[in-house]
Structure 1
Amino acid sequence: MARAYDFLYKIVVIGDPGVGKTCVIFRFSEDVFHTTFLSVIGIDFKFRTIELDGKKIKVQIWDTAGQERFKAINTTYYRGAQGIMVLYDITNQNSFVNMRKWIRESEEHGSADAEKMILGNKCDMDETRAVSQEKGEQLAKELGIKFFETSAKVAINVEEAFMTLVRDIKSKMDRNMDAKGQQKPEVIKVTKKNSHKKSCLNFCT
């Protein structure tokens, strides 16, 4: 049976607990927002199929708990990822300070060719902002990657951020086509173990 898509891209979403990773993923994959989510234990993922440049692209978006005790899981789920989103909460200074740690981890365990993007989430909560937009832009410029401020709650820039990342991945993959014009194979292993276990309430925007 023919596949329902032309390409499968894997994107991983990382950052401190509570920055809104799950909310951002649900906003892009299902266009919904929930005031509470059950914290992810291990790994969870969502899919969305989009059309870009006449091709159907199935986007597989991976979410993790973010807690240090799951570090062994986090280091393995970078494998095969063409895109990495690193989130912080604009109302939480510590989550921004920890961005360099997450970037280092993604560089250590992820592919050197993976496209990266920084998201400053919860920008609808400007009255309690702790990190200026300029600081986020400065960090992204320093690292040479793209930056968006987003809000999963009111759907600000989430679609734009994901579509930009997918477009950048596709552009890079197109450049890496082999002489026959065939995309080099990318093997993504999906394990169902711990894929949907959840516990504890996680409030996010």
Structure 2
Amino acid sequence: MEDYKYLFKVVLVGNAGVGKTCLVRKFTQGIFPPGQSATIGVDFMIKTVKVGDDKVKLQIWDTAGQERFRSITQSYYRSAHAIVLVYDVACQPSFDCLPEWLGEIEQYANRRVLKILVGNKVDKGDEREIPERIGQSFGDANAFDYFLETSALDATNVDTLFHEVATRLTVDMKRNDDQYDKYKDDRGGKSNQTVTLWDRATTQANTCCSKHA
């Protein structure tokens, strides 16, 4: 068994064509897939990163953006530790749909889920339709935990995105661990009350799923 301390499930959502699959493959495989076809349903890839002295495994789920797959992809929200909402900075309609995606997150995801807003394809400088300040403003107004712009084509902020996710989730998990340890100490190491930490990441999840190396 691979040695790691935490396992986190990260789900990418957003309109079709905004570059979710390219972001995932750039981070996990170091490649930009030319002529990438639309994702059918969901797919996932795995990568282990270091956060301080800890090994953290990210299970990154790439969801289809087409309307006909919504009922499938919505089922993946509930167990997510982080949701990354992606739009294309050169495509106004993808930005205009953000409130709809945000509504789904609020309806189906855990209330403590880490919410990240990403404006992708900043390599298309001359074609940009959404200024960075507009994306940042939307993120601030809708209580996103983090906002940044990326490019899967030239790797701008791709590693930064996923390392930020891993770091924030690890810090939160350690805080929960400390609270749990303090609770046990206060009870003399014993408790007849069940204490459930939020989707404790040391538990193996989705073991029935095939893994992409």
Q: TM-score, normalised by structure 1?
A: 0.88
**Percent of residue pairs identical:** 34
Any residues of structure 2 matched to 1:151-170 within 5 Å, and which? 151-170=151-170
Q: Deviations over 1:118-148 (max 9, x none)?
A: 1100000010011111100101111232111
Q: Deviations over 1:18-50 (max 9, x none)?
A: 000000011111111012113221110000001
1:90 aligns to what?
Answer: 89
Q: Deviations over 1:52-93 (max 9, x none)?
A: 121111100001111111111111111321111000001100
Any residues of structure 2 matched to 1:1-205 within 5 Å, and which? 2-145=1-144, 146-177=146-177, 178-179=180-181, 184=197, 185-186=200-201, 188-189=205-206, 192=209
Give distance in 2, aligned partners of 1:26 and 1:33: 7
SS for the counterpart of 1:176 is helix
Tell me how many residue pairs correspond in the alignment.
194
Q: CA RMSD in A?
A: 2.2
Give distance in 1, aligned partners of 2:82 and 2:36: 24
SS for the counterpart of 1:39 is coil
Q: Which amino acid aligns with 1:149?
A: E
Indicate if the aligned counterparts of 2:6 and 2:170 stay in contact, CA closer than 8 A: no
Indicate if the aligned counterparts of 2:63 and 2:73 stay in contact, CA closer than 8 A: yes
Whichever structure has more strand as a proportion of its residues is 1
Q: Deviations over 1:136-192 (max 9, x none)?
A: 010111123211110000000111111111111111111222125999435633554
Unaligned runs of 5+ in 2: 186-194
Unaligned runs of 5+ in 1: 197-205
Q: Deviations over 1:104-129 (max 9, x none)?
A: 11121111111111110000001001
User: After the TM superposition, which of the residue ranges 80-89 and 182-191 deviates more from structure 2?
Assistant: 182-191
Q: Which amino acid aligns with 1:71?
A: R
Indicate if the aligned counterparts of 1:10 and 1:81 stay in contact, CA closer than 8 A: yes
Give distance in 1, aligned partners of 2:173 and 2:142: 21
User: After the TM superposition, which of the residue ranges 32-41 and 14-23 deviates more from structure 2?
Assistant: 32-41
SS for the counterpart of 1:36 is coil
SS for the counterpart of 2:38 is strand
Give distance in 1, aligned partners of 2:5 and 2:209: 24
SS for the counterpart of 2:93 is helix
SS for the counterpart of 1:40 is coil
Give distance in 2, aligned partners of 1:125 and 1:16: 18
